[in-house]
Amino acid sequence: MRIWAALVLVLILSSCARPPRESPNLAIPMPSEVSKSVPGWLKPYTINGKTYFPLPKAEGYEELCIASWYGPGFHGKEASSGEIYNMYEFTAAHKLLPMGTYVLVTNLENGRQLVVRINDRGPFVEDRCLDLSYASARELGIIGKGTARVKITALSEGELIGQQIQYRNKPNFKFNEFYLQVAAFKNFSNALKFKEELEREFSQVRIEPYLHPEKGLFYRVQIYLSNNLDLALNMAERFKKERFIGSFLVAK
């Protein structure tokens, strides 16, 4: 009787239990489909035994590290983005940032700044994070030394249309100011005198103090150019050739 009662209890409990849920009808993509939908520059890749996982977004990205540069040996060859590398354009290689990302690069050793576009992968040297084009490195003042400690700040990204990167999302510099740094003085009175001379022909001239980590305090004399990056770059190039040799562009 006890065995019979136990069997009856089991049957009652099992009849009250909820039926198992049916698995949702999910369309799970096959690996080949995923491979087709993801552009090559977003896929993980392995270099020298180390695997890198590119970032899907660059929003909020900042980094302090060592930058280097690359030029003649790669000029005219295909970059990882599919573009042909031109060492005279303001571009750079990064191991993780999305292709088409515009970044503000600040040379922490001399204060120079430049906006460059990521269009390649590298550098694959352990202590380096950014490989600048020849033109970018020249503008930032690291050609002779070869490397410099920099800060990278992501500004905006390219737009992925199908398998192609469209550079439509260029940063809006409408509210930024671009200056040409034309001189730097250890003595403030010398900087002030030069500023007053320049104000005879330029409407906006400023003095900006800069504390060099090794050489101490400098007073930089800067001329306002434009709030448009392209216009400022053109003006800076002309001034550097015609008058202010060694000057460089500064973003504010």
More confident residue, 100 or 132: 132
pLDDT for residue 8: 40
23 pLDDT higher than 80? no
Q: How far is the CA of 99 from the CAs of 72, 96, 126, 139, 167, in angstroms?
A: 22, 9, 21, 22, 10
Q: How many CB atoms lie within 10 A of CB 4?
A: 8
Rounded Cα distance, 41 and 82, in Å:
9
**Residue 3, helix vs strand vs coil:** helix
More confident residue, 230 or 31: 230
Q: Which of 39-53, 89-103, 166-180, 235-249 has the lowest mean pLDDT?
A: 166-180
Peptide bond into 209 cis (omega under 30): no
CATH of domain 178-251: 3.30.70
Domain ranges within the chain, ordered by starting residue: 51-166, 178-251
pLDDT for residue 5: 45
Q: How many CB atoms lie within 10 A of CB 182?
A: 22
Please give the model's pTM, rounded to 2 decimal places.
0.56
pLDDT band, very low/low/confident/very high, at 35 (cuts 50, 70, 90): very low
24 pLDDT higher than 60? no
pLDDT for residue 39: 58
Q: Which CATH superfamily is domain 51-166 in?
A: RlpA-like domain (2.40.40.10)
SS (H, E, C) 225-245: EECCHHHHHHHHHHHHHHCCC
179 pLDDT higher than 70? yes
Nearest CA-CA partner of 142 in 106, 185, 116? 106
Fill in the amino acid letter for 171.
P
